[in-house]
Amino acid sequence: MNKRAAIAGGILLILFGVLSLARQLFPEVFDFISWPFYIIGLGLIFLFTAILSRSGGFAIPGFILVGLGAIFYFQESSLGYASWSYMWALIPGFVGLGIIFSGLIDRNVRGAAGGGLTLMLISLVLFFLFGGSFGLDPQIVQYWPVILIGLGLVMLLRLMFGRR
């Protein structure tokens, strides 16, 4: 870890600790913060460390943690945890977002975009496939084959018009 990453990570951990301590000392002020916010906060620490230190590798776990925290917050506040039977399929998409963001930070967008977008598409297909089987709204699920058609078209167009 470079010096800039260590400084950024240290500052962000201190801020996260101060907020956590304030929540314990003044629970009535911070009662809106439930446990998924801690996961989101930890992910944000990774993302801010990636940005401030210009180390793209921190972005991937940052997006995974923020995404998982958002899923858990959604589940806690609405549907319950039964939706985990298909929500897990979003994790490869979070990895894909992290790869793309990492490429932006490391100035290697071209190298990161292909892999990141592929993971995001795989994630969407899995989400709709499992969501259709395990309780996602049928009006949402009925159009998931459009993603497959789009993916096939992209693959064919890249073959036809890509670099030789």
Q: Under a CB-based contact definition with an 8 Å cutoff, are residues 62 and 50 in contact?
A: yes
Does the pLDDT of residue 52 top 70, yes or no?
yes
Classify 54 as helix, strand or coil: coil
Task: Please state whether the predicted TM-score (pTM) of the whole model is above 0.75.
Answer: no
Of 5-19, 28-42, 87-101, 130-144, highest mean pLDDT: 87-101
Output the average pLDDT for the chain.
80
What pLDDT is attached to residue 133? 65
φ/ψ of residue 55, rounded to 5: -115, 95
pLDDT per residue as tens digits for the range 95-133: 988 888 888 888 877 777 777 877 887 887 777 777 766
